[in-house]
Amino acid sequence: MSFTYPDHVFVVAELSANHGGSLEVCLETVRAAAAAGADAIKLQTYKPDGITLDCDTPPFQIRDGTLWDGTTLHALYVEAQTPWEWHAPIQAEAHRRGLTFFSSPFDFEAVDFLDALDVPIFKIASFEICDIPLIEYCASKGRAMIMSTGIAGLAEIEEALAACHRQGNHDVTLLKCTSAYPALPSDANLATIPLWAKTFGVPMGLSDHTTDDAVAIAAVALGARVIEKHFILDRAIGGPDASFSMMPDEFARLVRGIRVAEQAVGGIQSGPTGQALVNRRFGRSLFIAEDVKAGEALTPRTLRSVRPGDGLHPRHYHDLLGRTLRQDAVMGTPLDWSMLD
């Protein structure tokens, strides 16, 4: 099943854990995302036991300076999960609001569940890009794939793309991502976007965890065609992702900036267009700067390059010095070849 992206940058509002345990908050979030200009709403589809083990030994404890230090992976996902029975009503509300609805599956059961919902896209999260069996299973469903690359090196990206291609699925978009929460703009390294687009021959985008809109807008200028940003009705709701999620007014400003940026990128053109083409007449040209009599030679005092552009091109200035006029000319006359002896 092929998904047709819009002609403009595809802006994804990531709902994720930003629901405070309330389906109504989810539905209101969908409505707010649509009003803010999003193109899509995205969930994460998992059960805690399908993403990690209920274990509190050191490997499963969260530490190293994250927002979630002091808890375990399993406890975090118990808090952050979106109940599966909520997916259908969220999807229905998204469709009513004209939004694409899709999700990130984290195990085979989640893939089958989302496949039954007929989602058009599977999103592979950054920490799953090394899970080749999961990627192959997603790709085998024939739906569009979006893969975040936050923890991947080049070889791992190549392996993930190859997993899709083995299933005959070439509808893959890569997202540049910094897997830090929140992420620093200095770690974004957006110059990677056009390089990877050329290296891998795929559309590129950005999964952005910074706390403002500048990084995402800059990514659009560098060729990003998908922007994913966490979205929350109000950070006061709290939750694991609240601190690096955008509220509706912030997200709306982001979307406006993206639309301006993509207009500004435009296409390749090597001359003025539109109003700039009209305004060429205000460029410089050669004018008579003081009254000159017929037979009098032009000098730097009587011949000048000035605005507007009604006279001869300034490139002729040195060639015309010393030439004589065949007629009187008053100051402000644009120079023309017919005036010269």
Task: Give residue-wise pLDDT tens across range 195-242.
Answer: 999 999 999 999 999 998 999 999 999 999 999 999 999 999 998 889
Is residue 326 a contact partner of residue 340, using CB atoms and an 8 Å limit? yes
Q: Render pLDDT for 319-331 as a digit per residue (tens, 0 to 9).
A: 999 999 999 999 9
Q: Is 13 left (phi over 0), alpha (psi -120 to 50) or beta?
A: beta
CA atoms in the 13 A half-sphere facing the CB of 127: 9
pTM of the model: 0.85
pLDDT tens figures, 23-73 = 999 999 999 999 999 999 999 999 988 888 889 899 888 887 777 788 888
Question: The tokens of 161 are what?
Answer: 């793309």
Using an 8 Å Cβ cutoff, are 41 and 30 in contact? yes
Give the phi and the psi of residue 193 in degrees, each rounded to 5. -60, -55
- Classify burial at 282, counting beta carbons within 10 Å of its beta carbon; exposed 0-12, middle 13-18, buried 19 or more: exposed
Domain boundaries, the chain: 10-46+81-265, 274-339
10-46+81-265 and 274-339 share one CATH topology? no
In DSSP notation, 225-278 reads -EEEEEB-S-GGG--TTGGGPBPHHHHHHHHHHHHHHHHHH----SS--HHHHH
**Which residue from 206, 142, 159 is spatially nearest to 1, judged by alpha carbons?**
142
Q: Which position has the higher pLDDT, 282 or 79?
A: 282
CA distance 36 to 308: 45
In Å, what is the CA distance from 50 to each residue of 7, 16, 111, 139, 320? 36, 16, 12, 19, 83
Topology at the third CATH level for domain 274-339 = Type Iii Antifreeze Protein Isoform Hplc 12 (3.90.1210)
Closest CA to 113 of 93, 80, 145, 91: 91
Backbone angles phi, psi at 312, to 5 degrees: -70, 155
Please write the tens of the pLDDT for every residue from 114-164: 999 999 999 999 999 999 999 999 999 999 999 999 999 999 999 999 999
CATH code 3.20.20.70 for 10-46+81-265: yes
Q: Which residue has the tokens 């975090």?
A: 76
pLDDT for 2 equals 72
Q: What is the mean pLDDT of residues 257-265?
A: 96
Give residues with Cβ within 8 angstroms of 48, minimum separation 6. 54, 74, 77, 78, 81
pLDDT tens-digit map of 1-17: 679 999 999 999 999 89
pLDDT tens digits for range 279-309: 778 999 999 999 999 999 999 999 999 999 9
Please report which helix (H) or strand (E) contains residue 33, including its range: helix 23-35
Helix (H) or strand (E) holding 305: strand 303-306
